[in-house]
Amino acid sequence: MATPLAHIDAWIFDLDNTLYPAHSSLFPQIDARMGLYIQRLLNVDPQEAHRIQKGLFHSHGMTLPGLMVLYNVDPHEFLAHVHDVDLEVIRPHPELGDLISRLPGKKYVFTNADAAYAERVLERLGLTHAFDALHDIHALSYVPKPQPPAYLHLCEVHGITPTRALFVEDMARNLAPAKAIGMTTVWIDNGSEQGPESGLDHIDYRINDLAAFLGQVLAEVEPT
């Protein structure tokens, strides 16, 4: 008898607060450095920088595209600044790497960060070997999740059939466009959601432990 996920041959994972726990407090470092960048760029106080940053996040999907459009910010300079963070706060998780490696099919990281940072995080976690490809914000031409073209571009570049793909994210809003094109969606409900929810009918699986979920998946899809 076929299992619910037996048809999946593309396993797609967000990076931040997905492949490592949100309580690691890595992303707050990035958030703070974004605020500092905006303070210096626009000569504003921390409160105004925070308001601008979050406004751009909600209006453009992430802060960077808004800064590029409104203030002609160089994306490479911005990303180098905000990703200059201490990765020691996240713990290696080689067991997760083993679980991902065992999934049948191709495995991808799909992130609004850049590849240089993502590769550092994967190396720190011990997950570098587990993935076939990484699709970052440069590859997306700065059209980030949750904008629908980002998902279509990912599938086009890597030859992914959406109806045979599963996407794991910590932000529920980023799963809606994936579901709209036929992907199976998994929300890691870990408190990191940064956008308003408009219902959760686009969520197929709601979890709080990625390794435990993948262990259950493998118990279903691996040959006995």
pLDDT tens by residue, 193-208: 654 456 789 999 999 9
Give me the pLDDT at residue 150, please: 97
Tens of pLDDT, residue by residue over 36-53, are 999 999 999 999 999 999
With pLDDT > 70 as the criterion, what percentage of the chain qualifies? 96
Give me the pLDDT at residue 1, please: 35
In the block, tokens 């408190």 appear at 191
* Tokens, residue 112: 């609004």
Give me the pLDDT at residue 224, please: 63
Task: Say how far apart CA 67 and CA 16 lie, in whole Å.
Answer: 21
Give me the pLDDT at residue 200, please: 87
Once rounded to an integer, what is the mean pLDDT over residues 91-108?
97
Once rounded to an integer, what is the mean pLDDT over residues 119-143?
97
Asked if residues 20 and 170 have their Cβ atoms less than 8 Å apart, the reply is: no
Would you say domain 27-82 falls under CATH 3.30.2040.10?
no
Answer yes or no: is pLDDT of 7 > 70. yes
Mean pLDDT score of the chain: 93
With pLDDT > 90 as the criterion, what percentage of the chain qualifies? 85
Answer yes or no: is pLDDT of 18 > 80. yes
**Host H or E run for residue 168:** strand 165-169
Give me the pLDDT at residue 193, please: 67
As a CATH number, domain 10-22+92-221 is 3.40.50.1000
Asked if residues 156 and 136 have their Cβ atoms less than 8 Å apart, the reply is: no
Once rounded to an integer, what is the mean pLDDT over residues 5-23?
95
Asked if residues 116 and 20 have their Cβ atoms less than 8 Å apart, the reply is: no
Tens of pLDDT, residue by residue over 19-35, are 999 999 898 999 999 99
* Tokens, residue 138: 């440069």
CA atoms lying within 13 Å on the CB side of residue 105: 19
Which residues is 168 bridged to in the sheet?
13, 186
Domain-by-domain residue ranges, the chain? 10-22+92-221, 27-82
Tens of pLDDT, residue by residue over 137-183, are 999 999 999 999 999 999 999 999 999 999 999 999 999 999 999 99
Tens of pLDDT, residue by residue over 71-97, are 999 999 999 999 999 999 999 999 999
